[in-house]
């Protein structure tokens, strides 16, 4: 196996009220849980990525690589 690219997910465009809140039982700190899908479509010479949150696309990018 070989790393061909790194994909970063940016959640800053999603309104924070859409994320369910949870609490750490040990520390009592609140945090947000984010259940999302990162979809990859492979084509000759590139990979197209989409960030899906609750069935809606919130971001995308295309990564080219030398193969």
pLDDT tens digit string along 5-63? 777 788 888 999 999 999 999 999 999 998 999 898 888 878 888 989 999 999 887 77
Kindly report the pTM of this predicted structure: 0.67
In a domain, 49, yes or no: yes
| Residue 2 token pair | 């070989």
In a domain, 66, yes or no: yes
Domain that holds residue 65: 36-67
The CA distance from 28 to 11, in Å, is 24
In a domain, 65, yes or no: yes
Residue 47: predicted pLDDT: 83
Total domains in the fold of the chain? 1
Does residue 65 register a pLDDT over 70? no
In a domain, 53, yes or no: yes
Does residue 67 register a pLDDT over 60? no
In a domain, 9, yes or no: no
Residue 66: predicted pLDDT: 61
The CA distance from 35 to 60, in Å, is 17
In a domain, 2, yes or no: no
């Amino acid at each position: 196996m070989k790393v061909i690219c790194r994909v970063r997910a940016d959640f800053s465009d999603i309104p924070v009220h859409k994320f369910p809140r949870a609490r750490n039982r040990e520390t009592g700190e609140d945090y947000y849980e984010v259940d999302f899908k990162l979809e990859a479509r492979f084509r000759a010479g590139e990979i197209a990525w989409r960030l899906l949150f609750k069935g809606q696309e919130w971001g995308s990018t295309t990564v080219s690589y030398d193969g």
